[in-house]
Amino acid sequence: LTERGLHAFAYGVDVAEEASVRQMVDAVAERWGTVHVLVNNAGVFDRKDVTIDKVDFVMMEQTFAVNTLGPLRVTQALLPNLRASKRRTIVSISSQLGSIEKSDGRWYAYRASKAALNQINKILSVELAPEGFTCVVLHPGWVRTELGGKGATYSPEESVAGLIAVIEKLGPTD
C-alpha cells in the first residue's frame, strides 16, 4: 500500500460495543487524524440457522449487532474524521449472500444482516452525497478465511488486491 501512497491503519475493535468503537476513534485521531477511506469489514456467520426451526434469536441479534449495526456505528463515530478529508469514501464489506434476488434460502441471520447492511449503505449514499461522499458495498469474493473456509476461491491477498483496485477507482458517482 505504501508504494501507492496509501497508509492502512487496521485496528481491532468490537463494533458491537460503543466503548470499543470510541477507543478506536481516539486511536485513529491520535495516529492519523483524517480518515480518507473507511473500510467496514466486520462479520460473524453462524451457519446453524438453515431452517426456520433452527433460528436462534440471540445469535441473530448478535449477528445484526456486528454485521449491520457495527459498520453503521463505526461510520457514525468516524464521520467527523471523514468529513475532514477530500476523498470521503465509505466502503462496507457485504456478501453475495445478502442479495435478496439470488437467495436460495438458509442462514437467516447472516443473509438478513448483510441485506440490511446494503440498505444502510444506500441510505448513507443518498444522505451524504451532497457532501461529496462515495458510499459503496463491495463483495470480496469467497475468501479463504475462518469465515469463508479452506475451500474458498480466493486467498486473502487476492481478495484485498481486487478490493484495492476497485476502491482506488471510486468516485462520488459510484
Residues taking part in catalysis: 110, 114
Q: What is the DSSP letter of 10?
A: -
Beta bridge partners of 136: 91
Beta bridge partners of 93: 138
Query: What gap in Å lies between CA 19 and CA 30, rounded to an integer?
Result: 17
Q: Which residue has the cell 501507492?
A: 4
C-alpha dihedral (22, 27, 32, 37), degrees to nearest 10: -50
Query: What gap in Å lies between CA 145 and CA 153, rounded to an integer?
Result: 10
Query: What gap in Å lies between CA 7 and CA 2, rounded to an integer?
Result: 6
